[in-house]
Structure 1
Amino acid sequence: MTTGRRGRWLHRVLPERGTIRKDLVAGLPGAISGVPDGMAASVLAGVNPVHGLYASMAGPIGGGLTSSTRLMVITTTSAAALAAGSAVAGVPEEDRPGAMFLLTVIAGLLMVLAGVAKLGRYTRFVPHSVMIGFLSGVAANIVFGQLPDLVGADVSGPFALAKAWDLITHPTLADPAATLAGLTALVLLVALQRTRVAAYSALIALIVPSLAVALLHAGSVPRVRDNGAIPSGLPTPVLPRLEDFSFSLLAGAFAVAAVVLVQGAGVSEAAPNPDRTRSNPNQDFVAQGIGNLLAGLFRGQPVGGSVGRTALNVSAGAAGRWAAVFSGIWMALILLLFAGTVGAVVMSTLAAVLIFAAIGSLRPGAMLAILRTGRISQIAMISTFVATLFLPVAAAVGLGLVLSLLLQLNQEAIDLRVVELVPRDGGGFVERPAGRRLDSQRVTLLDVYGSLFYAGARTLQSRLPDPTGARRPVVVLRLRGRVMLGATAFTVFADYAERLADAGGRLYLSGVDPAMVQQIRRNRTVERVDGVRIFEASDVVGESSLKAYQAARRWLNS
Structure 2
Amino acid sequence: MFKDNRFNRLTANDLKRDLVAGITVGIVAIPLGMAFAIASGVKPEYGLYTTIIAGVLVALFGGSRYQIAGPTGAFIPILLAIVLEFGYEDLLIAGFMAGIMLILMGVFKLGGLIKFIPRSVTIGFTAGIAIIIFTGQIENFFGLENMEKKEYFHENIIQIIQNLSTLNLYSIFVAALGVLILIFVPKLFPRAPILLVALIVPSIVAFLFFPGKVDTIHTAFGSISQSLPSFQFPELSWNKIVTLLQPAFVIAMLGGIESLLSAVVADGMTGKKHNSNRELVGQGIANLATPLFGGIPATGAIARTATNIKSGAVSPFSGIFQGVFVLITILLLAPFASHIPLASMAPILIRVALNMSEYKSFTHIIKLKSSDSLVLVVTFLLTVFVNLAIAVQIGLLLAMFSFVKQMSEVLGIEKVVPDQLKEEINGGKSLETKCPQIVFFTIDGALFFGAADRFQSMITYSINRKPTVLILKMKHVSFIDTTGGANFASLITDFKKQGGTILLAELNNEILDMIKAEGLYDKLGAQHIFKDSKDAVDYGLNLINVKKCPLCSKAGTNTCQVFQQSKEMKEIG
Pairwise TM-score range, normalised by the shorter structure = 0.7 to 0.9
1:551 aligns with 2:539: yes
Deviations 1:172-225 (A, max 9, x none): 121222222122212211222334356522212221222222223542422112
Secondary structure of the residue aligned to 1:19 is helix
1:69-80 maps to which residues of 2 (within 5 A)? Answer: 69-80=64-75
2:175 aligned with 1:182, yes or no? yes
- In our comparison, the structure showing a higher alpha carbon Rg is 2
Match of 1:209 in 2: 202
Name the aligned partner's letter for residue 136 of structure 1.
Answer: A
Distance in 1, matches of 2:116 and 2:507, equals: 27
Aligned counterpart, 1:493: 488
CA drift at 1:139: 0.5
How far apart are the structure 2 equivalents of 1:234 and 1:188? Answer: 32
- Residue by residue over 1:435-476, the C-alpha shift from the partner in whole angstroms, topping out at 9 and shown as x without a partner, is xx9963114132133x33222212222333513542334222
Give the alignment partner of residue 448 of structure 1, picking from 419, 444, 449: 444
Looking at structure 2, the residues matched to 22 and 484 of structure 1 have their Cα atoms a distance apart, in angstroms, of 51
Q: Distance in 1 between matches of 2:394 and 2:228?
A: 40
SS in 1 for 2:543: helix
Give the structure 2 partner of residue 335 of structure 1: 330
The question of 1:143 aligning with 2:134 is answered: yes
* Cα distance between partner residues in 2 of 1:254 and 1:417: 40
Q: Which has the higher helix share?
A: 2
8 Å Cα contact 1:467/1:500 also seen in 2: no
Question: For 1:505 and 1:240, how far apart are their aligned partners in 2?
Answer: 70
Instruction: Report the Cα distance in structure 1 between the residues aligned to 2:22 and 2:126, rounded to whole angstroms.
Output: 27
Conserved? CA contact 1:467–1:473, under 8 Å: no
Residue 508 to residue 533, structure 1, CA distance change in 2 (3 Å): farther
Determine the structure 2 residue equivalent to 1:129: 120
* Counterpart position of 2:147: 155
Aligned-partner Cα distance in 1 for 2:260–2:477? 29
1:113-512 alignment, distance < 5 Å: 113-153=104-144, 154-156=146-148, 157-168=150-161, 170-196=163-189, 200-225=193-218, 226-243=220-237, 245-272=240-267, 276-424=271-419, 440-449=436-445, 451-464=446-459, 466-480=461-475, 482=477, 484-512=479-507
For residues 313 and 159 of structure 1, what CA distance do their matches in structure 2 show?
35
SS at match of 2:66: coil
Tell me whether 454-463 or 10-19 shows the greater mean CA deviation.
10-19
The residue that corresponds to 2:94 in the other structure is 103
Corresponding residue for residue 430 of structure 2 = none
- Taking structure 2 as the reference length, the TM-score comes to 0.85
The answer to whether the 8 Å contact 1:82/1:138 transfers is: yes
Kindly state the Cα deviation for residue 170 of structure 1 after the two structures are TM-superposed: 4.2
2:186 match: secondary structure: coil
Deviation track 1:509-537 (CA, whole Å, cap 9, x = no partner) reads 3333444444433433x35756686637x
- Alpha-carbon contact 1:23-1:320 (below 8 Å) kept: yes
Superposed CA deviations along residues 11-63 of structure 1, whole A, max 9, x for unmatched, are: 73685434000000111011111111101111232111111101111111111
Q: CA offsets per residue over residues 212-260 of structure 1, 9 Å max, x none?
A: 2222354242211222442112333322221593434221111111112
Where does 1:44-59 land on structure 2 (aligned, <5 Å)? 44-59=39-54
Q: Please, what TM-score do these two structures have when normalized by structure 1?
A: 0.87
1:219 partner SS: coil
Partner of 1:301: helix, strand, or coil?
coil
Amino acid at match of 2:538: Q
Q: How many residues align?
A: 532
Say yes or no: does 1:31 pair with 2:19: no
How far 1:326 sits from its partner (Å)? Answer: 0.9
- The 1:422/1:164 distance shift into structure 2, 3 A limit, reads same
1:472-497 deviation digits (Å, cap 9, x = unpaired)? 34222233455652221012112222
CA distance in structure 1 between the partners assigned to 2:478 and 2:403 by the alignment: 21
SS at match of 1:155: coil
* 1:290-344 deviation per Cα after TM superposition (whole angstroms, max 9, x unaligned): 2222322222111111111011111111122211121111111111111222221
The 1:371/1:516 distance shift into structure 2, 3 A limit, reads same
1:143 Cα offset (Å):
0.6
Paired residues of 1:69 and 1:284 also in contact (CA < 8 A): yes
* SS of the residue 1:399 aligns to: helix
The Cα shift of 1:76 comes to 1.5
Code of the aligned partner of 1:548 = A
Corresponding residue SS for 1:36: helix
Match of 2:38 among 43, 46, 51: 43
The 3 A distance-change label for structure 1 pair 138 and 12 is same
What is the DSSP-based 3-state SS (H/G/I as helix, E as strand, rest coil) of the residue aligned with 1:234? coil
SS in 1 for 2:444: strand
Task: Work out the CA distance in 1 between the residues paired with 2:461 and 2:454.
Answer: 14
Partner residue of 2:548? none
User: What amino acid maps onto 2:225 in structure 1?
Assistant: P
Work out the CA distance in 1 between the residues paired with 2:507 and 2:282: 42
Q: Residue type of the partner of 2:373?
A: Q
Task: For 1:136 and 1:128, locate their aligned partners in 2 and report how far apart those are by CA, in whole Å.
Answer: 12
CA distance in 2, matches of 1:203, 1:76: 17
Distance in 2 (alpha carbons) for counterparts of 1:264 and 1:479 = 42
Alpha-carbon separation, structure 2, partners of 1:312 and 1:187: 22
Native 8 Å contact 2:35 2:349 kept in 1: yes
Tell me the CA shift for residue 161 of structure 1: 4.3
Residues 140, 513 of structure 1: alpha-carbon distance in 2 compared, 3 angstrom cutoff: same
| Residue pair 2:440, 2:470 contacting (<8 A) in 1 also | yes
C-alpha distance in 2 between matches for 1:391 and 1:357:
22
Letter in 2 for 1:264: S
Aligned to 1:540: none
Contact 1:84 1:103 (C-alpha < 8 Å) held by counterparts: no
Q: 1:472 to 1:452 in 2, by over 3 A?
A: closer
SS of the counterpart of 1:68?
coil
Question: Hey, what's the Cα distance between the residues in 2 that align with 1:186 and 1:25?
Answer: 27
* Native 8 Å contact 2:142 2:172 kept in 1: yes
Instruction: Tell me what 1:432 maps to.
Output: none
CA distance in 2, matches of 1:67, 1:510: 50
Distance in 1, Cα, partners of 2:6 & 2:66: 17
Tell me, which stretches of 5 or more residues in structure 1 are unaligned?
428-436, 537-542
Query: Could you tell me how far 1:359 is from its partner in structure 2?
Result: 1.1
Q: Which amino acid aligns with 2:485?
A: F
Give the fraction of aligned pairs with identical amino acids, expressed as a percent.
25
CA distance in 2, matches of 1:184, 1:132: 31
1:121: Cα distance to partner? 1.8
1:445–1:273 distance in 2 versus 1, CA, 3 Å: closer
What is the CA–CA distance in structure 1 between the aligned matches of 2:434 and 2:246, rounded to whole Å? 54
Q: 1:166 to 1:35 in 2, by over 3 A?
A: same
State the partner residue of 1:20. 15
